[in-house]
Amino acid sequence: MVAADPRTPEGRQRDPTGPTAVACTHCGLPVPAGRVKPGTTPAFCCHGCETVYQILHSEGFAAYYDLRDSLPEPATETASSSYAEYDDPAFLERHGQPQPEGRLACDLYLEGVHCAACLWVVEKALIREPGVAEARLNFARSRLRLVFDPTVASLARLARRLASLGYPSHPARENAESAYRSESRRLLVRMGVAGAVAGNVMLLAFALYGGWLSGMDPVHRQFFRWTSLVVTLPAVSYSAWPFYRSAFNGLRSGVLHMDLPISIGILAGFFSGTWHTITGVGDIYFDSVCALIFLLLVGRRLQLHQQRRASESSELLFALTPSSARRLDGDGAAERVPLEALRPGDRLEVHPGERIPTDGVVEAGRSSVDQSLLSGESVPVSIREGDEVWGGTTNLVDRLVVRATQTVEASRVGHIAAMVSEASGTKAPVVQLADRVAGWFVAAVLVLAGMTYAVWSWLDPAHAVDHTVALLVVSCPCALGLATPLAMTAAIGKAAREGILARSGAALEHLGRLKGARLFLDKTGTLTYGRMRVVAFEGDRGVLPAVFAAETGTSHPVGRALLDHAREQSPERWVRTEFESIEGGIRAVVHPADGAAPEAEGTSIVLGAPRAVLQHALAPSDLDEEVRRWTREAWTPVWLAIGGRVRARFAVADQVRPEARSALRRLAARGLKPFILSGDHPEVVRAIGRQLGLPAEHCTGGLSPEDKWERVRAHRGRVIMVGDGVNDAAAIAAADVGIAVHGGAETCFAAADVFLSKPGIGSLETLLLGSRRTVRTIRTNIGFSLAYNLVGATLAMAGLLNPLVAAVMMPASSLVVVTNSFRFRFQKNEARTRSRRVERPGVPYPI
Amino acid sequence: MSVLFVVVPLALFIAFASVMAFVWSVQSGQLDDLDSPAIRMLHDEAPQARTDREASSEEQAA
C-alpha cells in the first residue's frame, strides 16, 4: 500500500486552530478543531488520512480498520537527506555513464525493495518525471538503472522522490559490475552451447544404442558417429575451456585441482571417441562427455551468482557516510567538496537531517545527534560546543559547525568499514569436505588409470584403452562435484521458505559444523524490541490524558513510550496549550478540552526524570522501596508532577521479546553457549540477562563496536554473532557465522552470512537444526558418490565394465545425489505446519 | 533410410539456429535479470489514448 504518508510534513496541512480531543480515524492523532465536522464519525487530522481512508473504502478494503490491531507506526524520523551531492558534476562524472543524445545512465542501489508493488511504484513514479528516459529496477538485486537527461532532470530530485516513496538510494559502484556482467554472460553462453550439444548428441546416441541392440547399417552407424563427433566439437573446445584453463593453472602452481580429472576425463573421452570414430571400431562416449560439461557449467554458474551476491552487499558500507561535505572557508562561505578532500582542521557545516561527514569537534551550534550507528542505542545525544561528534552519525535538530579531527578513512566509521571488509576478506575459508577429498581423489584416479593401462596393455593390448576409459568415465567426480553445492542450493531454497535467508551455502555448512560454539547476541533490537515501552505504572489513571497531551508529537523514545501507553490505556484526549523543554524532562500546560472550553485555565504539569521533576515538586516519602526495585530491573523512571506534587510514576524500558528466553534455552540445549554483547549500560544488560536466565558474567555492556569486534575475534573459530545494528557489523563480519535479524541496518545485513526475516531470534533454532541437517545431507551425498566411484573403479580395473555401461552409470549416480539433496526438509514436520500459517515475510534486501 | 542424410543435418541446422538465437539474447542482456521482467509483465498499462484513425473509423461506423 503506497500513499502519500499523511504524517510527513508535505502530507499534513494542519488547521492552525489547534488540536481537539477527537482522534483521527486513520492514524489516531488528535484532529485539529477546524476539521471536526459535527455529527460525523470518521474524522481526520489531515487531508492525507482522509484520502487513504477513502481509497481503502472505495476499493472495498474497509475491513482494514476492523482487522488492524494497532495504529499505524508513527513515521520515524529518518535522516532525510537532500541528496544535493547527486547533482554535483563530480558525482555525475564518477557514477554516470554517458549515453547517446547527451543522456546519462546511473545505477542506484535502493533500500527497502520488497515486492512486486515496489517495482511498479519505483518505475512508474520515475518515468513520469520530465527528462527520465528509462527507469529499470532489478528486483532481485535492488539496483535501479536510470537513464536521464541531466539538462532537464535533476538526479537529486529523483532521489528525493524515491526517498519520499520509502526507497532511500545510494550510488552503486560500477567498476566491478561490467566485469561481472560479461563474465556471467560468457558463462551462460558456454552453458547454453553445452546444453544444446548434450541434448543433440544424446539423441544421436539413442539411435546408436538402438542400433547396438537391433543391428544397424554400418553406413548409418558411421554417419551418426561422425555427426556426433562434429556436434561435440564446440562443447569440448569452447564450453569446457574454463576447466582446461583452471586445471592448467592448478598444475602450474603445483595444486591438484578438481578441474584436472574433469579435464582429463573430458579430453580422454573425446579423443578415444574420436579415435574409435575414425577407425570405426570401439565405442564412443560423446554423449556422457557433453552431459558432464553441461552439468558442471550449471554448477559453476550457481557458484558465480553466489560470489557476486556476497561481494555486492559489501558496497553498502559506503552508504554510511555522505558522498560530499560542505567545507567553510575563511570568511564563512560554504563549498561542496568530495569526502576524500577533507583534511583534519577543515571546518564543516552540517545541516539538520544530514550525516556528519567525519569525526570532529563541534565549534558552533547546539543540537541532538543520533549516534545509534555507533552505540546501537536509539536515544539521541545532546551536543554543544566542544563536544566530539563521529562521522556517519546524524545531526537531528540544528545546524552545526564541526572542525574535522580525522580524515574519513581514519574516522571511527572508516575503521569499522575497514574492519568489516578485512574480516570478510580474511574469514578462514570454509574448507569444504569435497575440496579436501578432491585432491586425494584426483591423485588416486590418475594413479589407478595409469596402472590399469599398464596392466591391461600387458594382458590384453586390444582392450587396454577401453578399460582405462571406462575407469576414467566411471570415476568421473560428477556426483562428488555435485554433492556439496547441490545440497547447499537445496538448503538455501528451503531455508528461504522458512524466512531464513542465507547468503551462501558455505555459511549453512559452517554453522552446521560448529558444535559448542559461543553465541554472541546483541541486546537492543535482537533480544529486546528495540523500542521503549511503559512497563510499570503507579498512580492515578486519570492523569493519562494529560500525559497524552503533553507528549503529543514527541520524537524522544521515552516520550513516545508514554504517548503510546496513554493512548492505549485511556480513550480520553486532552490538548496542550503550552510546552517547554526543561533539563531532563518537559513542562506543559494541558486542557481537558472537548472543544467546549478552550479558555479555561489549564493544568501545569512537569514530566521527566525524577531528578528534573523534584526541582518543581515534592516527592512522597514512601518511594524508596519502589525506586530500588526499578533500579534493580534497570528500568528508566519517569515522574509526573501536577501542581507541585508527584502524582504518577512510570517505569519505561525496552522489553525482552517473549520468545527470547525459551529460544536461548533451546539453543543452549543444542550445545551453544549464549552471551550478550551490548553497547548499553552494563546494569541494564545484566538486568536483561537475568530475565533471560543468563549468568551475569555472560552479559557484557558498555561495548563500542570496536570492543565487540575484539571479543568476537578473540574466540574466532567457534563464534556465532547475532545482531541488528551498524555497531554490530564489524563483529558480525568477523564471526565464523554472522547473523542479522529483522529490522536492522542494511550495513548489518551486508556483513552477515545469514539474515532472519522474522523478528527476534525465534528462528535461530530452525536455522541451526537445518544447517546440521544440511551437513548430514552433504555427508551422505559424498559417502554415496565415493562408494559409487569405488565400486565402479574396481569393476573397470578388473575389465568388467564396458565404457558404455560406465557412461550410463555416471548420470545415474548424479541423479541419486540430486534426489538426496532435494529430499531433505529444513524443518521438522510438526513445526512446518505451524509455520505455514505465518504470513510469508517480505524479502527485505536482495539476496 | 537415406532420408537421414537430409533430415539429421536439417535438425542440426535448426539446433544451430536456436543456439545462435540464445547467444544473441544473452549478448543483448535479456537474460541478465531473470526476476524483474516476470513481475513487470503483471503491471497493467494505463489505457492508451485512441488514435485518431480508430476514433474516426468508429464515428463512421456510428
Which of A306-315, A657-666, A792-801 is the least confident region? A306-315
The pLDDT value recorded for residue A775 is 87
Across the range A94-108, mean pLDDT stands at: 82
Q: How far apart are CA A360 and CA A387, in angstroms?
A: 9
Would you place residue A190 in the very low, low, confident or very high pLDDT band (cuts 50, 70, 90)?
A: very high
Residues 41-60 of B with CB under 8 A from A: 42-43
Instruction: Say whether A139 and B11 touch across the interface (CB within 8 A).
Output: no
**pTM of this prediction?**
0.61
Which range scores top for mean pLDDT: A10-19, A183-192, A721-730?
A: A183-192
Q: Is the model's pLDDT at A187 over the cut of 70?
A: yes
Which of A166-170, A361-365, A455-459, A714-718 is the least confident region? A166-170
Across the range A453-458, mean pLDDT stands at: 88
Across the range A129-157, mean pLDDT stands at: 84
Q: How far apart are CA A676 and CA A696, in angstroms?
A: 10
Q: Is the model's pLDDT at B6 over the cut of 60?
A: yes
Pairs of CB atoms within 8 A across A/B: 64
Interface probe with B: pick from A119, A147, A202, A302, most Cβ of B within 10 Å: A119
Q: Burial of B21 by CB count in 10 Å (0-12 exposed, 13-18 middle, 19+ buried)?
A: exposed
Q: Is the model's pLDDT at A688 over the cut of 80?
A: yes
Whether A486 contacts A817, CB under 8 Å: yes
Q: What residues are paired with A136 via a beta bridge?
A: A145
Q: Is the model's pLDDT at A16 over the cut of 50?
A: no
Would you place residue A520 in the very low, low, confident or very high pLDDT band (cuts 50, 70, 90)?
A: very high
Q: Is the model's pLDDT at A835 over the cut of 70?
A: no
**Which residues from chain B sit within 8 angstroms of residue A123, using beta carbons?**
40
Instruction: Confirm or reject contact between B35 and chain A (CB < 8 A).
Output: yes
CB-CB neighbours of A637 under 10 Å: 20
Q: What residues are paired with A360 via a beta bridge?
A: A389, A404
The pLDDT value recorded for residue A75 is 38
Instruction: Say whether A123 and B40 touch across the interface (CB within 8 A).
Output: yes
Q: Quick one: angle between helices A286-313 and A478-497, nearest 10?
A: 40
Q: Is the model's pLDDT at A8 over the cut of 50?
A: no
Which of A140, A141, A192 is nearest residue B19 as measured by Cβ atoms?
A192
Q: Residue A722: in which H helix or E strand, if any?
A: strand A719-723
Whether A182 contacts A171, CB under 8 Å: no
B35-61 tens-digit pLDDT: 778 777 776 665 555 555 555 565 565
Across the range A182-190, mean pLDDT stands at: 90
A626-677 tens-digit pLDDT: 777 777 777 888 888 887 788 888 888 888 888 888 889 988 888 889 999 8
Q: Quick one: angle between helices A478-497 and A505-513, nearest 10?
A: 90
Kindly report the CA angle at A835 between A834 and A841, in degrees rounded to 5? 155
Chain A residues with at least one Cβ partner in B under 8 Å:
116, 119-120, 123-124, 136-141, 181, 184-185, 188-189, 192-193, 196, 199-200, 204, 217, 220, 223-224, 227, 231
**Which residues from chain A sit within 8 angstroms of residue B39, using beta carbons?**
116, 119-120, 139
Instruction: Say whether A119 and B40 touch across the interface (CB within 8 A).
Output: yes
DSSP string, A647-670: EEEEEEEEEEPTTHHHHHHHHHHT
Interface probe with A: pick from B3, B25, B36, B42, most Cβ of A within 10 Å: B36
DSSP 8-state secondary structure symbol assigned to residue A239:
I
The residue to which cell 565405442 is assigned: A283
A196-219 tens-digit pLDDT: 998 899 888 878 877 766 778 888
The residue to which cell 558500507 is assigned: A317
Minimum Cα–Cα distance from B42: chain A residue: A116
Which of A39-53, A496-510, A547-561 is the least confident region? A39-53
Which of B27, B33, B39 is nearest residue A185 as measured by Cβ atoms?
B27
Residue A638 φ/ψ, nearest 5 degrees: -130, 125
The pLDDT value recorded for residue A694 is 87
Please tell me which residue in A370, A522, A564, A753 is annotated as part of the active site: A522
The pLDDT value recorded for residue A303 is 65
Residue B47 φ/ψ, nearest 5 degrees: -55, 135
Instruction: Say whether A196 and B19 touch across the interface (CB within 8 A).
Output: yes
Whether A389 contacts A369, CB under 8 Å: yes
Across the range A683-696, mean pLDDT stands at: 86
Q: How far apart are CA A302 and CA A660, in angstroms?
A: 35
Query: How far B54 CA sits from the closest chain A CA (Å)?
Result: 26
The pLDDT value recorded for residue A379 is 65
Q: Which 3 state secondary structure label does DSSP give A311?
A: helix
Would you place residue A812 in the very low, low, confident or very high pLDDT band (cuts 50, 70, 90)?
A: confident
Query: How far B41 CA sits from the closest chain A CA (Å)?
Result: 10
Across the range A356-366, mean pLDDT stands at: 86
Q: What residues are paired with A110 via a beta bridge?
A: A169
Q: Is the model's pLDDT at A175 over the cut of 50?
A: yes
Instruction: Say whether A227 and B19 touch across the interface (CB within 8 A).
Output: no
Whether A344 contacts A407, CB under 8 Å: yes
Query: How far A131 CA sits from the closest chain B CA (Å)?
Result: 20
The residue to which cell 551468482 is assigned: A305
Across the range A295-321, mean pLDDT stands at: 62
Which range scores top for mean pLDDT: A206-215, A332-341, A712-721?
A: A712-721
The pLDDT value recorded for residue A301 is 77
The pLDDT value recorded for residue A166 is 72
Interface probe with B: pick from A126, A188, A309, most Cβ of B within 10 Å: A188
Interface probe with B: pick from A118, A181, A220, most Cβ of B within 10 Å: A220
Query: How far A187 CA sits from the closest chain B CA (Å)?
Result: 10
- Beta-strand ranges (E) seen in A478-562 are 500-502, 518-522, 528-539
- Compute CA distances A535 → A375, A562, A648, A652, whole Å: 23, 10, 14, 6
Instruction: Say whether A140 and B35 touch across the interface (CB within 8 A).
Output: yes
For A60-96, give one letter per residue: b (16+ CB within 10 A) or e: eeeeeeeeeeeeeebeeeebbbebbbbbbeebeeebb
The pLDDT value recorded for residue A724 is 82
Kindly report the CA angle at A698 between A695 and A699, in degrees rounded to 5? 100
The residue to which cell 521515552 is assigned: A558
Minimum Cα–Cα distance from A216: chain B residue: B1
Which of A139, A184, A217 is nearest residue B36 as measured by Cβ atoms?
A139
Instruction: Say whether A119 and B32 touch across the interface (CB within 8 A).
Output: no
The pLDDT value recorded for residue A38 is 58
Instruction: Say whether B40 and A140 touch across the interface (CB within 8 A).
Output: no
**Which residues from chain A sit within 8 angstroms of residue B43, using beta carbons?**
119-120, 124
Q: Is the model's pLDDT at A489 over the cut of 80?
A: no
Q: How far apart are CA A724 and CA A744, in angstroms?
A: 4
Which of A210-219, A304-313, A630-639, A792-801 is the least confident region? A304-313
**Percent of the residues in chain A that have a pLDDT greater than 70, as a whole number:** 75
Whether A623 contacts A635, CB under 8 Å: no
The pLDDT value recorded for residue A91 is 76
- Compute CA distances A643 → A11, A240, A589, A637, whole Å: 38, 86, 11, 20
Whole-angstrom Cα Rg for chain B: 23
Query: How far A140 CA sits from the closest chain B CA (Å)?
Result: 6
Q: How far apart are CA A438 and CA A775, in angstroms?
A: 18
DSSP 8-state secondary structure symbol assigned to residue A236:
I
Rounded to whole angstroms, the maximal C-alpha distance in chain A is 116
Residue B48 φ/ψ, nearest 5 degrees: -75, 145
**Which residues from chain A sit within 8 angstroms of residue B15, using beta carbons?**
196, 199-200
The pLDDT value recorded for residue A308 is 63
Q: How far apart are CA A443 and CA A55, in angstroms?
A: 70
Q: Is the model's pLDDT at A486 over the cut of 90?
A: no
For residue A200, the number of C-alpha atoms closer than 13 Å in the C-beta half-sphere is 28
Q: Return the higher-pLDDT residue of A222 and A261.
A: A222
Across the range A479-502, mean pLDDT stands at: 75
Query: How far A356 CA sits from the closest chain B CA (Å)?
Result: 36
Which range scores top for mean pLDDT: A75-84, A165-174, A462-471, B21-30?
A: B21-30
Q: How far apart are CA A433 and CA A430, in angstroms?
A: 9
Which pairing describes strands A699-700 and A585-591: parallel, antiparallel, or unpaired? Answer: unpaired
Residue A558 φ/ψ, nearest 5 degrees: -70, -40
Q: Return the higher-pLDDT residue of B22 and A591.
A: B22
Q: Which 3 state secondary structure label does DSSP give A74?
A: coil
Instruction: Say whether B23 and A140 touch across the interface (CB within 8 A).
Output: no
Q: Which 3 state secondary structure label does DSSP give A347?
A: strand
- The mean of the pLDDT values for chain A is 76
Would you place residue A226 in the very low, low, confident or very high pLDDT band (cuts 50, 70, 90)?
A: very high
The pLDDT value recorded for residue A116 is 67
Which of B12, B39, B40 is nearest residue A200 as measured by Cβ atoms?
B12
DSSP 8-state secondary structure symbol assigned to residue A514:
-
Across the range A690-713, mean pLDDT stands at: 87
The pLDDT value recorded for residue A7 is 39
Which of B5, B19, B39 is nearest residue A139 as measured by Cβ atoms?
B39
Whether A703 contacts A679, CB under 8 Å: yes
Would you place residue A839 in the very low, low, confident or very high pLDDT band (cuts 50, 70, 90)?
A: very low
Which of A181, A193, A223 is nearest residue B5 as measured by Cβ atoms?
A223
Q: Is the model's pLDDT at A225 over the cut of 80?
A: yes
**Which residues from chain A sit within 8 angstroms of residue B35, using beta carbons?**
138-140
Interface probe with B: pick from A138, A145, A847, most Cβ of B within 10 Å: A138
**Which residues from chain A sit within 8 angstroms of residue B27, using beta carbons?**
185, 189
Interface probe with B: pick from A139, A193, A202, A223, most Cβ of B within 10 Å: A139
Instruction: Confirm or reject contact between B12 and chain A (CB < 8 A).
Output: yes
Query: Rounded to an integer, what is the distance from CA A341 to the centroid of its chain?
Result: 31
In which region does residue A606 sit, left (phi positive, over 0), alpha (psi from -120 to 50) or beta (all else)? beta
Q: Return the higher-pLDDT residue of A706 and A598.
A: A706
Assess whether A5 carries a catalytic annotation.
Answer: no
Whether A616 contacts A670, CB under 8 Å: no
Minimum Cα–Cα distance from B1: chain A residue: A220
CB-CB neighbours of A233 under 10 Å: 14
A384-426 tens-digit pLDDT: 888 888 888 878 777 888 998 888 777 877 777 667 666 655 5
Query: How far A190 CA sits from the closest chain B CA (Å)?
Result: 9
Query: How far A120 CA sits from the closest chain B CA (Å)?
Result: 7
Across the range A326-351, mean pLDDT stands at: 80
Instruction: Say whether B19 and A123 touch across the interface (CB within 8 A).
Output: no
Q: How far apart are CA A392 and CA A384, in angstroms?
A: 18
Residues in chain A: 847
Instruction: Say whether A223 and B4 touch across the interface (CB within 8 A).
Output: yes
The pLDDT value recorded for residue A102 is 84
Which of B12, B23, B29 is nearest residue A189 as measured by Cβ atoms?
B23
Would you place residue A191 in the very low, low, confident or very high pLDDT band (cuts 50, 70, 90)?
A: very high
Q: Which long-range contacts (CB under 8 A, 24 or more apart) does A748-752 make?
A: A748/A723, A748/A724, A749/A313, A749/A316, A749/A844, A749/A845, A750/A313, A750/A314, A750/A315, A750/A316, A750/A317, A750/A420, A751/A314, A751/A420, A751/A423, A751/A424, A752/A503
Q: Could you give the dihedral angle defined by the CA atoms of residues A643, A645, A647 and A652, in that order, rounded to the nearest 10 degrees?
A: 110
Q: What residues are paired with A521 via a beta bridge?
A: A676, A722
Which of A192, A217, A227 is nearest residue B8 as measured by Cβ atoms?
A227
Q: Return the higher-pLDDT residue of B10 and A786.
A: B10
The order of strands in the sheet holding A636-642 is A528-539, A645-656, A636-642, A603-608, A585-591, A575-582
Q: How far apart are CA A88 and CA A99, in angstroms?
A: 18
The pLDDT value recorded for residue A434 is 53
